[in-house]
Chains A and B, each alone.
Chain A
Amino acid sequence: MTTTEPERTGPGEPRPAPGARRAPGQGLTWSLRGRGPEDVPVLADPGPPLGRPAGPATGRGVRVCVVDSGVERDHPLIGPLAGSWVVVKDAESGEITVEPTTTGDTCGHGTACAGIVRRTAPECEIHSVRVLGERFSGTGDVLMAGLRWAVEQGFDVINLSLSTTRTRFAQELHSLADSAYFARTVIVASAHNTPVESFPWRFASVISVGSHQEDDPELHLYNPDPPVEFFGPGQNVTVPWLGGRTIRTTGNSFATPYVAGLCARVLSAHPRMTAFQLKNALYLSAANVRHAPRPSTAAGDIRDDSEN
């Protein structure tokens, strides 16, 4: 597997390499014994006001990885990919590897997701990791390997319009999602379309997305009653499909890349934002989140303000 060092190259400085990419005990800050605030300075990006990226935010310099069924090569609505990979499981040894591929998409689903990312963040870099379409891979280990690989590459945003119901992967996926979160790789994951337990969208360290039923293609909502945290446009969405054409389709799968694209746009304008800042930006800019005025009280004066 390659280990290209990920650096966001948008406006501002390249993002600092986060310590969480290292193995435990190798540079992680476990305590501040013997060190003070001046030893751990942080140069922050406050992020966009009210969570909305400014007009020119196009995703430029942001690396997005679509973990799915592959992406059709040179689809007119997607353009060339920055990288195309496939997860292969050896039939005899069971060994799982990630290899470069030119095979495109085996079903259209990954092409649809990549197209929505492209539409939302036109100038982002799109990479594809194919985890479907080889030997039947419904057991989850190929998905697991593809996601792990993408996290290791340090992509800024990973779109995962898939989940696994196999509970034996839950713990491993949870650790992986947490590693990604600390390493500033944002996993945007589809909630299952039916009310079943599946992973990793259930975890708080990912951005989980379901579909609302509104026609507005630029509407996202925050769910005050998670586990699904956000809703995006996923009903009757026009998407690129195999053969250079488009179809219309419905499902959480297609709401997710819209939110992934939003993340790419925000990050292109504010490359130093952390995963929790990004989630906050989505929260603040959600159409159903209203901003109550601040209580007009003096500092330290705490009282109930019935008008808020």
Chain B
Amino acid sequence: MTQRTDSAPSLSPAAAPDADAPRSELLQSVVDVARAIFGAEASSVFLLDEEADELVFQAVSGQGEEFLVGRRFPAGRGIAGWVATSGEPMVVDDLSADPAFDRSLAESTAYVPNSLMAAPLISDSRILGVLEVLDPSPQARSGVRELDLLAMFARQAAAALRVITPERVREAEQRAASGAGLLEGARREDALKLLGSLERLLRGTG
């Protein structure tokens, strides 16, 4: 399982607080939708901090919402680490069957899932992070189809995320400073619209 250890002082070394607001909004929407799709207890997004070689909790919906954001753990470890390195989605079940597992995870997160689904956030062949869903409803887990659905949703989320990555936000700010652009706001709206319509679609058919 993922090791969830030290708290990080800031969300990401690359993002200034105000530049981060649209991204936080987007990511919160992603985890809320993921949780709704799978009827899950919780969902979280980790982004990869390549320099630090760590995965960082960026948004959490449900259990752990209040204290997990900002926490970091080594990028090559745990299920999220495997997903981030391999670029493949993964589903595991019966996690809490072993009491030894309960202890180790409970110490750091105060929440022990029994099952977990994780998919990489990949855009343009680049792995941006991992989307995890904890304790999805029994009807919504463990099958190949569910794995496909999570992977598809993660890909869409990654595409939206890429539209408003900090790099692009910074570029937009530079353009704004030189009086050249309001593009960032429009892009952000597009991304959020995309997710909003997906959420409506999924809620409508689910």
- Residues of chain A touching chain B, judged by Cβ–Cβ distance below 8 Å, are 69, 106-109, 132-138, 162-166, 192-194, 196, 198, 211, 213, 234-236, 241-243, 245-253
Apart from A162-B86, A193-B88, A235-B143, what are 18 other A-B pairs with CB-CB below 8 Å?
A: A106-B76, A106-B78, A108-B1, A108-B92, A132-B81, A136-B53, A138-B86, A164-B87, A165-B87, A193-B151, A198-B87, A236-B93, A243-B100, A247-B92, A247-B94, A249-B92, A251-B89, A251-B91
List, in ascending order, chain A residues with CB within 8 A of B87's CB: 138, 163-165, 192, 198
Q: With the chains together, A242 CA to B77 CA distance in Å?
A: 12
> Are B89 and A193 in contact, CB atoms less than 8 angstroms apart?
yes
Residue of B nearest to A162 (CB): B86
Q: Nearest CB to that of A194 among chain B residues? A: B151
Secondary structure class of chain A's binding surface, majority of residues: loop
Q: Which of B86-107 contact A (CB under 8 A)?
A: 86-95, 97-98, 100-101
| With contact pairs A193-B147, A211-B144, A246-B94 given, residues A136 and B76 touching in the complex (Cβ less than 8 Å) | yes
| A249 CB to nearest chain B CB (Å) | 5
Q: How many CB-defined contacts (below 8 Å) exist between A and B?
A: 119
Given the known inter-chain contacts A138-B84, A247-B97, please indicate yes or no for A236 contacting B142, CB distance below 8 A.
yes
Which residues of chain A come closer than 8 Å to B31, judged between CB atoms?
Answer: none
Contact B127 A138 (CB under 8 A): yes
Known: A138-B127, A247-B92. A213 touches B143 (CB 8 A): yes
Contact of B76 among A132, A193, A245 (CB under 8 A): A132
Return B153 CB to nearest CB of chain A, in Å.
Answer: 11
**B197 within 8 Å of A by Cβ?**
no
Q: How far is the CB of B72 from chain A (nearest CB, A)?
A: 13
Partner of B101, one of A234, A245, A250: A245
Per the bound structure, the CA–CA distance linking A248 and B96 in Å amounts to 11
Known: A135-B53, A194-B148, A248-B94. A107 touches B89 (CB 8 A): no
In the complex, B191 has a CB within 8 A of chain A: no
